[in-house]
Amino acid sequence: MESTPNPIVMVDVGGKPVSLRTARATARLHAQVETIERIRRQELAKGDAIATARLAGIMAAKRTSDIVPLCHPLPLDSVAVSLSFEEPGTVVVEAQVRATARTGVEMEALVAVSVAALAIYDMCKSIDPGMTIDAIRLEEKHGGMRGDYVRDAGPGCGG
């Protein structure tokens, strides 16, 4: 007897209760120390990479369902994207997303940090094409039927 593969479906969330959903994600962009300093001093040919990355992340979060095939379009209550410089040669991108909805906003937070990091890459690629983007991950989420998740602070991918 031949088995048929599972169909690709968008999950029906119509019966789930509307509740407050939040998610926080991070990503890291690694570059030459001089590249990071030029970002911080706003000395890039394309302009302010920090402001551009924030805007790119917010716009991407709002369009997640257009990018990730099975995500539900959500009316987001808020999206905040921030960048920090915790160590030389690294920009840490963080996104916090909130919605009052029937499904979570983890994907919106992950897409936001990914696109924000890509925006920085785009603005710096002519001076530092060896940059890398990594550690794109969900740090925490709250709300929903499965409850809260907070990434374990321990070593490795944890969680």
d(CA 38, CA 48): 10
Q: Which of 66, 122, 134, 148 is catalytic?
A: 122
User: How big is the chain, counted in residues?
Assistant: 159
Nearest CA to 54 out of 119, 131, 99, 7 is that of 119
Q: Is 128 in the active site?
A: no
Q: What residues pair up with 95 in beta bridges, in sequence order? A: 25, 81
Phi and psi at residue 70, to the nearest 5°: -105, 10
Residues identified as active-site: 122
